[in-house]
Amino acid sequence: LMDNFTRAFGYGSSNHFYPVLQQAIGVGNAFEGWRPCAEGALYHVLVPLSAPPGHAFHLEPDTGVKMPGRNFRVRVDLECTCVREQLGDNAMLCFLHHSKEELSRKQEPSLLDTLCTGPYLDVEKTARWLYRLVRADWLLLPQSSHRLNLMLLPSSRSCKMQLSKGKESLVVEVLFGVRQGDSDIYVSSQPTEVHFMPSTTWHETYAVAEANFFRHVARRAPQDSWHCKCLQFLTGVAMGKGFSAYALKTVVMHLLNTRPLSQWSRRDFMKRLVDIVDSLRCSLDKKRLDHFVIGNQRLPREISLPPELQRVEPPNLFQHLACDPDAYREVVQEYIRLR
pTM given for the model: 0.92
Same domain for 98 and 237: no
Strand, helix or coil for residue 62: coil
In sequence order, what are the beta bridge partners of 153? 160
CA distances to 189, 198, 247, 292, 303 from 71, in Å: 11, 11, 21, 19, 21
Does the pLDDT at position 87 exceed 70? Answer: no
**Residue 215 domain-assigned (yes or no):** no
Same domain for 174 and 40: yes
Task: List, for residues 30-71, the tens digit of each pLDDT value.
Answer: 999 998 866 678 999 999 999 999 999 999 999 877 777 899
User: DSSP letters along 262-273, please?
Assistant: GG-BGGGHHHHH
Q: Which of 126-130, 137-141, 253-257, 284-288 has the lowest mean pLDDT?
A: 137-141
- Domain of residue 257 covers 221-338
CA distances to 62, 220, 303 from 69, in Å: 11, 31, 20
Task: List, for residues 171-227, the tens digit of each pLDDT value.
Answer: 999 999 999 999 999 999 987 666 688 999 999 999 999 999 999 999 999 999 999
CA distances to 19, 76, 142, 147, 187 from 58, in Å: 13, 7, 36, 41, 11
Nearby residues of 296 by Cβ (< 8 Å), 6 or more positions away: 257, 290, 314
**Residue 237 domain-assigned (yes or no):** yes
Select from 276, 274, 243, 244 the least CA-distant residue to 258: 276
The pLDDT score that the predictor gives to residue 109 is 95
Same domain for 326 and 296: yes
Query: What's the structural domain count of the chain?
Result: 2
The pLDDT score that the predictor gives to residue 154 is 93
Task: List, for residues 284-317, the tens digit of each pLDDT value.
Answer: 999 999 999 999 999 999 999 998 898 899 999 9
